[in-house]
Amino acid sequence: MRYTALLLLLSAALAEESFITQFEYGKMLYENPRGIGCHHCHGPEGQGQEVARYQNKKGMQQIIQGGAIHSLSIEQFKHALEDSTRIMPRYYLTDTEIRAIHLYLQKMRDFR
């Protein structure tokens, strides 16, 4: 019985027509791709936001800012996700996941 239910769920997930749209899938991934959501650093619509403030050893205030990502092309977006020199966590997203998140950000930008 469990095997049949699992098989049905898997078949539904692989079906051409999904029960959620690419926009909804992108939103879900943006809010929690692998344990920590993009929105914590990049804002609810990818517009960028302040992540943290601290004082360095010289007493100067430093700000860590999540960049604006809502206007990036798909190529720029992929490169930003794969750039290992940044402090951003590496999510190891699939091409489908990256495209869904990018679509979500583009539509959110256009709704403004």
DSSP 38: T
Residue in the block written with tokens 């804002």: 43
Specify the pLDDT at position 6: 47
Reading phi first (left if > 0) and then psi (alpha if -120 to 50, else beta), residue 92 is in: left
CATH number of 16-111: 1.10.760
pLDDT, tens digit (0-9, with 9 covering 90-100), for 25-81: 999 999 987 778 899 999 999 999 999 999 999 999 999 999 999 999 999 999 998
Longest dimension (CA), the chain: 65
**Beta partners for 55?**
61
The structural domains of the chain, with segments of one domain joined by +, span: 16-111
Q: What is the pTM of this model?
A: 0.75
